[in-house]
Amino acid sequence: MDNNNKFFPNRHGIRIVKCCSSCEYKHFDKGNQRICVHIGCLVRKNGLCKDWKMSEYYDNAGIGDGRVKKKSYLDFVGKQRQEGKTNIAEIRAEYEKENGSIYLSNK
Contact 65, 59 (CB under 8 A): no
Q: Which residues contact 106 (CB under 8 A, 6 or more apart)?
A: 67
Range of the domain at 83: 65-107
Quote the pTM value: 0.53
Task: Identify whether 43 is part of a domain.
Answer: yes
> Do 81 and 48 fall into the same domain?
no
Q: What is the mean predicted confidence (pLDDT) over 5-20?
A: 87
Cα(35)–Cα(26) distance, integer angstroms = 6
pLDDT of the residue at 5: 65
CB 65 within 8 Å of CB 38:
no
> What is residue 12's predicted lDDT score, i.e. its pLDDT?
86
35-84 pLDDT tens trace: 888 888 888 877 888 888 999 888 888 887 677 889 999 999 999 988 98
Give the Cα separation of 23 and 57 in Å (integer). Answer: 9
Do 15 and 55 share a domain, yes or no?
Answer: yes
Cβ atoms of residues 32 and 19 within 8 Å: no
Q: What is the mean predicted confidence (pLDDT) over 17-43?
A: 84
